[in-house]
Chain A
Amino acid sequence: MVKIFLIIFFSVSLTACVVMNTKNGSLRVTNIVASGYDGVSSEFCASFSLTKDEAQYYFDNAKQVSARDIHDNYSFLPCYVSGEANLNNQICEWEVRAGGTSHITCGNQSMLMGCEDCLPTQK
């Protein structure tokens, strides 16, 4: 009984890890949905945009981070671009912020990512 439980537990855990692994090109950005900003930052955020290729470059190079990492090491900026992606045949929603932080949700799983140097200089 314990063996069966352990096998199920580790299988579920492994599946969860695989689903949220965005490296090795497993996450494919499919489209840009919107760009916007929180609060009243319209002018500050006016020049923040991302193409599909730029978003793909970001996700290919960013690393998974914790909320604590974002608190300590990143600026969480009000400007964002959001879109959709495909990860292991699952449709995911993502949001990349101008400070280099991002958020991905695939079904009932979410993760935070970060990379300051993975975003392009804005035109």
Chain B
Amino acid sequence: MATLQNGLFNDPKVQQRIFLGIEKGALIKINALVIHQTGAPTAQHTFNSYQKGRHGAHFLIDKMGKIYQTAKLNKKAHHVGKIKSKCYETKACTKVQLQIATQILFSKRLKYPTRVTNLHKNKNENENENENIKPYPDRYPINSDSIGIEIVGNYNKQIKIYENISPLQNKSLQWLISELFILFTITKADIYRHPEISYKMPSEAGTAIW
């Protein structure tokens, strides 16, 4: 069974390759896991990107199913981006919530990227309805309460789809998730594919199985 020490996930199946540049402050509470695909053909492409120190996730599963820990689990990583309105997407908004979400999403005088930013941030009058300050699980997970797991997989520009996640990669993903279930108070309901919570290409992590 894996152990956790100072944010490091200790298990012989996981190789630690921490990129300090993608660690962005303290991660106090972990509510959820977000599954990504890298959009690049090899793990090295993603390591090169992590070296620049902007966006990144906590784990990377390579083409052969090898798992790397790339950020400590007590540190935030920027892997989610701007979140969607959970109540709007799941059709569970109260009347007030729906009014606010539609007011932002359908505000015709604003460019669409601005609408998405306003939805995520605090650009509405009722601050209690700002998406990123709602308590989890009333909102989707954000960088400050989730672990990101990246799976190496290229994006095929011709057919506009991410490549299939292999059985080896899915096996590693399932093992990693089972260990994280033991270490943190999370369940299957707290695992999300990236495009489910954020405006991303729909096929990203679409073939991940857990």
Contacts and interface: CB of A to CB of B under 8 A. Distances in A.
B82 to A, nearest CB: 6
A115 B105 CA distance: 20
Contacts of B162: 67
Contacts of B81: 72, 75
B186 interface: no
Contact of A77 (B36, B112, B194): B112
A3 interface: no
Interface residues of A, number: 33
B92 interface: no
B134 interface: no
B129 to A, nearest CB: 18
Interface residues on B, range: 20 to 34
A71 B111 contact: no
B47 interface: no
A75 B113 contact: yes
Interface of A: 38-39, 43-44, 46-48, 66-68, 70-72, 74-77, 79, 98-100, 103, 105, 108, 110-112, 116, 119-123
Given A103-B157, A121-B111, A71 B199 contact: no
Contacts of B204: 71
Nearest to A112: B157
A110 B55 CA distance: 25
Interface of B: 36, 38-40, 45-46, 49, 54-55, 81-82, 105-106, 108-113, 116, 154-155, 157-158, 160, 162, 194-195, 198-202, 204
A120 B200 CA distance: 21
Contacts of B39: 66-68, 70-71
Contact of B158 (A74, A99, A110, A121): A110
B125 to A, nearest CB: 21
26 contacts: A39-B202, A43-B106, A46-B106, A47-B108, A48-B112, A66-B39, A67-B39, A67-B155, A70-B201, A71-B38, A71-B200, A72-B55, A75-B82, A75-B112, A75-B113, A76-B199, A77-B112, A98-B112, A99-B116, A103-B157, A103-B160, A116-B113, A121-B110, A122-B109, A122-B111, A123-B108
Given A44-B106, A48-B112, A121-B111, A105 B200 contact: no
